[in-house]
Amino acid sequence: MKFVYSDNYDLNLGDHVFPSIKYKLTAEKLLRDGVARPEDFVEPAPASDDDVALVHHREYIRKLKTGTLSYLEILRLEIPYSPELIRAVWVAAGGSILTGQLALRDGVAANVGGGFHHAFPDHGEGFCVLHDVAIAIRRLQKDQTIERAMTVDCDVHQGNGTADIFAADPTVFTFSIHQERNYPYPKPPSDLDINLEDGTGDADYLAALERGLKQALGKFQPDLLFYIAGADPYREDQLGGLSLSLGGLAERDRLVLGEARARGIPVAVTLAGGYARRLEDTVLIHATTLRIAKEGAGGH
């Protein structure tokens, strides 16, 4: 199994609740724990502007590339604008394209980054500048390597950008399981939304997720599944209000990957959010997701 990663994934945010150093730390932990060898990592090229324009408006792309976002547009991002940020999100989008391609080849692949599910065609918000997963799906469809895709979003926050981008598209099924009383407001409807009560713990979460997966996969057969594996349903997350344990999150990963594997559906994993009080917890959650993905791939 291949892990797609670049040191350029760091968003250069400084002292921020979003610890974008987590990508580097997660990659290092995979190596340290023997989950991955150096040769298991693949360096992505940045997405082309034409790839990005399969999802995002050209005027928005121009503003991002030229540093001409308005004050309010930057405020909406909730992260500081910098050339390093723009480099990072273009590389992350290229990373998700490559992850999708490798998943189709190998059955499963993981982007040690990505999952920026709050980005819309004409603006970014909620720490998300470009919607890397949507860009990857559109590129793969353009290349005619897939016709149909599914997104399974297990971040604590609903994937509003995903829902909006694919709202009128019968070729992409969007599934989000999230905390109801949390960002974003409003929540545009996904094809399937599971809105969880504050404080939902392992047993109730896993039961709801299993029902949702069976419902989604019972009515839609994708050529590729993008798993948006947020670490923020964790009970110690600063921006979440669910109560999953480390063990519960690992079971979540096994459930999503296992349901896909049982149906022969390739899976591309992206990491999405994670804001635990202890950075090492976020890194552990992400690294565990990636370890479980590799175990499901038979260790290849």
Active site residues: 118
Helix (H, G, I), strand (E, B) or coil at 111: strand
240 contacts 275 by C-beta, under 8 angstroms: yes
> What distance in Å separates the CA atoms of residue 192 and residue 140, rounded to the nearest whole number?
23
216 contacts 150 by C-beta, under 8 angstroms: yes
Which strands sit side by side in the sheet containing 192-196, from one edge to the other?
Answer: 41-42, 3-4, 108-111, 267-270, 224-228, 149-153, 172-179, 192-196
257 contacts 294 by C-beta, under 8 angstroms: no
Helix (H, G, I), strand (E, B) or coil at 4: strand
182 contacts 237 by C-beta, under 8 angstroms: no
Question: Could you give the angle at the alpha carbon of 262 between the alpha carbons of 256 and 264, nearest 5°?
Answer: 100
Structure-block tokens of residue 148: 């149909």
Closest CA to 110 of 270, 291, 295: 270
Question: What phi, psi does 6 have (nearest 5°)?
Answer: -140, 140
> What distance in Å separates the CA atoms of residue 189 and residue 175, rounded to the nearest whole number?
10
> How distant, in Å, are the alpha carbons of 75, 118, 167, 240, 286 from that of 233?
25, 16, 25, 6, 12
Closest CA to 248 of 200, 202, 196: 202
* Environment class of 49 (CB within 10 Å of its CB; exposed 0-12, middle 13-18, buried 19+): middle
